[in-house]
Amino acid sequence: MTAAVPLPPPAPAPSDPQSIRQQLPPVLVATFDAEWALVLDQAKASKELAGLYNLLNKWRHIAHMEQRDPGSYSRLLDKAEEILRTGRNENAGSIDELRASIAARIGK
């Protein structure tokens, strides 16, 4: 019997604009570039960096998610659009199921 080989720890999520951009699939690069240009112009005008930090935080998570599961961001957007269009999430459980799952995880 062979021992299971442990998986390496996941790579940290990128935090700078170039690293984020490099980890995005080509379909998302243009969206990142457009948002980056807009927020950068706003930061120049306002002399406030909060918008830049928020944008980088948003996209670093998207880049990390895409590295772990390619296409996941597109699927997330598709699911959100479906829920907004239909007003329902067919795959969602009840609030009681959610509460039971949370209680089980925290040992209650």
Q: What is the mean pLDDT of the chain?
A: 89
User: With left for phi above 0 and alpha for psi between -120 and 50, is residue 24 left, alpha or beta?
Assistant: beta
Q: What residue ranges do the domains of the chain occupy?
A: 17-106
Q: Between 107 and 4, name the one with better pLDDT.
A: 107
Torsion of CA 9, 15, 20, 22, to 10 degrees: -70
- pLDDT confidence band for 70 (50 / 70 / 90): very high
Residue 7 has pLDDT above 80, yes or no: no
CB 55 within 8 Å of CB 41: no
- Average confidence (pLDDT) over 12-34: 91
Task: Say what the pTM is.
Answer: 0.71
- Average confidence (pLDDT) over 2-21: 76
